[in-house]
């Protein structure tokens, strides 16, 4: 490795006119340049090792500089000089755990960098080391200048409201930028994705894409391009930690949700490395306050163990509309604001009791779920369906599909067809989004909403006694049904009675009022001889709500052995 004496280096700020004699020699800049050049000369070492600089160098070399071949200062006797067109900017934040960030920026109008040594050969070697270092160390963040400038201009034209949600990252977010507000209409959402970028780029531009918005939450997706660019999983995870360090240092109340690198047909050969990086990031989130990890892989993998091609565009890399629908369903429940309000007044309750708790902190546990059930069904809002989570598949019934003539072919928790069909034979009256959405038994998308019925008039409907029917059950087997429902902000009793009728009958009741994780399970019963079974929903005797609301949020089916 070269170790250049400082008296061989002259610096002149590119942004300033030459001084008398054309030379500026602040000691710190000389030392910074020496450290940077020495580091890059060691081309045998990994880039992560180059980052072991010190904060003094980081701060000292924070301006674009030119090494000048003219001027005195103790060098003297120069035999030759080699000009190299390059610009340097050193990231001053020093939030990085490894200290020195060095980015070679090949700008539109680069300054001339003059490297000079006591012999022409040594000058050539030093210059070559710098040029090779530029290529090996890093992709150029300046390639995103036009896009980032556009973001800044938009923010200046319409100063962003504070406390919203910023989506940022690579092309998956960039393509989504224009549709985010439509897909998440209940929230103040801003898209700041720039396609083809890496996590390092997100780190570099965080002060322009994220911090100006002072968001309460950041949804982050990047890392694929890093792995495709031959970065190690460890490096990718470390870069994400740097991003979090920057955001959380400036905005300690902000929450950060990392959406896992998706499996795609085009990059399937890289999946093992992506899995490794995802695992490291998930571990980081599990131990880092105000960060969370959302595992999207189970939702993107088909029964054959391959990426679901129906979720991708023709390029086999980027999501199509159906792919974004799956992502929207997975992410939406995790965007809960600090306080969620539900319509009031409603008969039987007052405005004073209509405010319910929401998510205070999103942690990894918010997106982790295990079950012993064979079949899971989420009843609720069509905008908050539950995707496969942690390798566990869900069926979703909502107001938009409850009346499907063909019914709903159910899959089991392994996403395999069961041959069982569910039909809503007596429809629900509407969807309720006021369930307890955090810290409970199920993913927030399942526990936070439900479908409801009512006996007294509500929204011009009355005498709503929902009923669902199953066909395709095995008459030789018995099935146990577990029910969950939640309605937050309730000061009355909202007990719902579930009557399961097959070859025999079982009746269970559950009070949905402020329920967090309580469930009720029927006795195991066999279906009728033709493989059918029904579940009727009605108010329980203890239900004293003025509308006698009834609820169904989650139904688990366990096949008795």
| pLDDT tens, residue by residue, 493-536 | 999 999 999 999 999 999 999 998 899 999 999 999 999 999 99
Could you count the other beta carbons within 10 Å of the beta carbon of residue 98? Answer: 15
Please tell us whether the domain made up of 161-334 is placed in CATH 3.40.50.620. Answer: no
Q: Is 227 helix (H, G, I), strand (E, B) or coil?
A: helix
Residue 359, pLDDT > 50, answer: no
No. of H helices and E strands in the chain? 14, 27
pLDDT value at 161 more than 60: yes
For residues 100 and 37, the model is more confident at 37
pTM: 0.45
DSSP 8-state code for residue 120: H
Q: Give residue 6's pLDDT.
A: 29
Domain borders along the chain are 161-334, 375-560
CA distance linking residue 270 with residue 162, whole number of Å: 38
On the question of pLDDT at 324 being above 80, the answer is yes
Q: Which residues contact 176 (CB under 8 A, 6 or more apart)?
A: 167, 183, 191, 193, 324
CA distance to 130, 237, 264, 400, 468, per residue, from 54 (Å) = 19, 21, 39, 58, 66
Residue 262 · residue 297 · CB < 8 Å: yes
Judged on CB neighbours under 10 Å (0-12, 13-18, 19+), 345 is exposed
155-175: average pLDDT: 92
Percentage of the chain exceeding pLDDT 70: 68
| Predicted pLDDT at 383 | 85
Q: Provide the CATH number for the domain formed by 375-560 in this structure.
A: 2.60.120
How large is the average pLDDT for residues 484-488? 94
Average pLDDT of the residues in 11-17: 31
Average pLDDT, the chain: 75
Checking if the pLDDT of 258 tops 50, the result is yes
Is pLDDT of 83 > 50? no
DSSP string, 186-225: TS-EEEEE-TT--HHHHHHHHHHHTGGG--SEEEEE--HH
Q: Assign 13 a pLDDT band (cuts: 50, 70, 90).
A: very low
Averaged pLDDT for residues 365-375: 62
């Amino acid at each position: 490795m070269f170790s250049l004496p400082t008296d061989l280096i002259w610096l002149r700020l590119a942004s300033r006119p030459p001084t008398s004699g054309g030379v500026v020699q602040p000691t710190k800049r000389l030392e910074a340049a020496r450290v940077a050049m020495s580091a890059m000369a060691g081309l045998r070492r990994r880039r992560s090792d180059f980052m072991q600089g010190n904060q003094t160098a980081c701060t000292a070399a924070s301006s674009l500089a030119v090494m000048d071949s003219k001027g005195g200062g103790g060098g003297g006797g120069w035999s030759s000089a080699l000009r190299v067109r390059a610009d340097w900017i050193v990231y001053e934040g020093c939030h990085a755990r490894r200290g020195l960030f060095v980015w070679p920026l090949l700008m539109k109008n680069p300054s001339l960098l003059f490297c000079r040594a006591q012999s022409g050969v040594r000058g050539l070697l030093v210059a070559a080391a710098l040029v090779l270092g530029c290529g090996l160390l890093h992709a150029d963040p300046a390639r995103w200048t036009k896009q980032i400038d556009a973001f800044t201009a938009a923010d200046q034209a319409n100063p962003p409201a504070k406390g919203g949600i910023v989506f940022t990252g690579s092309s998956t977010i960039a393509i989504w930028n224009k549709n985010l507000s439509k897909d998440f209409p209940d929230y103040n959402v801003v898209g700041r994705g720039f396609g083809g970028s890496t996590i390092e780029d997100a780190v570099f531009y965080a002060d322009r894409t994220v911090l100006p918005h002072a968001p309460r939450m950041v949804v982050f997706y990047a890392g694929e391009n890093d792995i495709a660019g031959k970065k190690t999983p460890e490096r990718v995870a470390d870069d994400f930690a740097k991003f979090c360090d920057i955001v959380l240092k400036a905005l300690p109340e902000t929450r950060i949700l990392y959406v896992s690198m998706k499996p795609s047909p085009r990059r399937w050969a890289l999946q093992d490395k992506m899995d490794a990086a995802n695992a490291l990031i998930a571990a980081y989130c599990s131990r880092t306050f105000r960060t969370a990890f959302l595992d999207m892989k189970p939702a993107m993998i088909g029964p054959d163990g391959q990426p679901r091609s129906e979720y991708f565009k023709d390029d086999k890399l980027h999501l199509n509309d159906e792919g974004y629908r799956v992502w929207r369903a997975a992410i939406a429940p995790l965007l809960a604001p600090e306080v969620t309000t539900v319509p009031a007044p409603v008969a039987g309750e007052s405005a004073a009791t209509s405010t319910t708790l929401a998510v205070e902190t999103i942690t990894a546990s918010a997106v982790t779920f295990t079950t012993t059930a064979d079949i899971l069904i989420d009843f609720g809002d069509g905008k908050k369906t539950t995707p496969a989570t942690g390798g566990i598949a869900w069926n979703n019934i909502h107001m938009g599909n409850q009346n499907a003539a063909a019914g709903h072919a159910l899959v089991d928790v392994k996403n395999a067809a069961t041959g069982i069909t569910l039909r809503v034979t007596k429809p629900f009256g509407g969807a309720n989004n006021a369930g307890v959405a955090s810290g409970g038994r199920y993913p927030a998308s399942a526990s936070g909403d439900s479908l409801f019925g009512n006996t007294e008039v509500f929204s011009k409907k009355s005498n709503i006694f929902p009923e669902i029917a199953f066909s395709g059950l095995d008459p030789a087997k018995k099935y146990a049904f577990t029910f969950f429902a939640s309605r937050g902000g309730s000061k009355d009793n909202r007990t719902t009675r579930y009557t399961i009728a097959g070859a025999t009958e079982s009746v269970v009741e559950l009070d949905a009022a402020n329920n967090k994780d309580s469930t009720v399970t029927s006795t195991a019963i066999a279906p009728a001889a033709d493989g059918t079974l029904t579940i009727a929903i009605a108010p329980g005797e203890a239900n004293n709500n003025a509308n006698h609301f009834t609820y169904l949020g989650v139904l688990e089916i366990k096949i008795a052995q």
